[in-house]
Amino acid sequence: MTETELQPFFEVEELSSEVFDQYADQTHESWRAREKFADAVSEYRRRVEAGEGDPLRLALGLLIVGKHGDALEWFAKAPDDKLRHYYAAEAALALGRSDEAMEELRAAGAGGWDALAIDMAVAAVQIGSGNSKAADKLVDKQAKAGADRHEWYYVRGLLAEYDKRRGEALVEYEKSLTLFPEYAPGMFRCAWLYDIRGDDEQAIELYERLARRPRARVNALINLAVSYEDVGKYEDALECLRRVLKAYPNHARARLFYRDVESSAQMVIDEGVEVTGDTSVRLLETPISEFELSVRARNCLKKMKIHTLGDLLRLSEAELLAYKNFGETSLNEIKAMLSQKGLRIGQRPDELGGVAADVPAPAPTITVPPGSEAMLAKGVGELELSVRARRCLQRLDVATLGELIQHSEPELLSIRNFGVTSLNEIKARLGDHGLQLAPKSG
């Protein structure tokens, strides 16, 4: 992309949203193209400041290169026009100025912008500001015209998601994409909902479609990076984060995730070159699922959070038999399985030779604030965690707040891809509910 190919933006005879999208996409095709267009914007700014150009064109150019504050200043100096107000709203939203964005959107509507598009854009801002009732009224107002419009279904999805009705929200977003398959906001919300319910393939497919767009959403790139890391595609994850950091060098989340992914990739390299290890440790880490047990025994162990041989050895026969539906038949079956490995239930750490230090100590007693007991049965979804933190808890098979606070900081940090960022997030969310992680064992 050369400067001369981008320069016509400031000379095009008639501006429109189509022209804006065309040049915005061309500008973000590559980092070099963005630099070229930014230079063209700077040159045009000098012309406008000298009284030779159009403030609206300058404002739109500044918006394309992400200078939202400067763009708003020049939009304010541009002639009253629906295009000016519509894109001024976009700049205001990027700066978190919701009230100003709604004023600009309404002015764009008064100037002749599509009425349904304006109502749905205003409704989306209202939902983001916590005013779902006002948004609901706008959706009802446009019910007849909205039946064939992707924006209407998208906002219905936002409303359902705001009310925690995620299944219904996903249906609405899918309807929106049926009408407009390349609608970026709909793709992102749909991908995120697929993501949190564990439909990884569908989520990644949508995130990848968003990532292929010249103006890729930052959150889509970061979420795709997390998904790539989870499946071991570390270089692809790093490339997503590099794209974010090229545009926003100081983006805090991207910088943290970049370090986390680099660390995960290095761990894989380190594990690949390690050729020695204690066979007893590896035996204790063997998953229970690798052994042939009856369905009853397997289900009981799963409900008791017993996942490895090491977990099983820490219990006594009496503790196993005390569990609901666990009888002598299951006990004898498990004892026979252990005997084949030269192990037995209740075997002490010091009887395992060099692996004593690797056998976890008994879990500490957990206390909770008075009145918080009922909260422990709530799902970890109540914490509204990031995708990364949520997936790490899934690996640990943690479903409720009560189960979560049974774990200490070192236990969480030992999970693959779980870093200090996720740990601090979980601690903060638990703190909001008056809870905390278990103290460190030993």
- Could you tell me which residues come within 8 angstroms of residue 17 by beta carbon, excluding any fewer than 6 positions away? 83, 86
Residues 6+ apart with CB under 8 A from 152: 116, 120, 139, 142, 143, 145, 146
State the pLDDT at residue 290: 66
Domains of the chain (ranges plus CATH)?
Answer: 1-113 (1.25.40.10), 279-352 (1.10.150.20), 373-432 (1.10.150.20)
Sign of the four-CA dihedral 62, 68, 74, 80: positive
Note down pLDDT in tens along the chain; length 442 residues.
444 455 578 888 888 999 999 899 888 888 888 888 889 999 999 999 999 889 999 999 999 998 999 999 999 999 999 999 999 999 999 899 999 999 999 999 999 999 999 999 999 999 999 999 999 999 999 999 999 999 999 999 999 999 989 999 999 999 999 999 999 999 999 999 988 777 888 999 999 999 998 888 888 999 899 888 877 888 999 999 998 888 778 787 788 788 878 877 766 555 554 444 445 555 666 777 767 677 777 777 877 778 777 778 777 777 777 776 777 888 888 887 777 667 778 775 555 544 333 334 444 444 555 555 566 777 777 777 877 777 777 767 777 887 888 888 877 776 666 777 778 888 888 888 778 888 765 4
- Locate 71 and state its tokens: 């763009």
* Amino acid identity for residue 205 in this structure: E
- pLDDT value, residue 80: 93
For residue 48, the model assigns a pLDDT of 94
Predicted pLDDT at 147 = 93
Residue 268 pLDDT: 55
Distance separating alpha carbons of residues 153 and 145, to the nearest angstrom: 11
Q: Does the reported pTM lie above 0.75? A: no
Look at residue 7 in the predicted model and tell me its pLDDT: 57
Per-residue confidence (pLDDT) for residue 153, from 0 to 100: 97
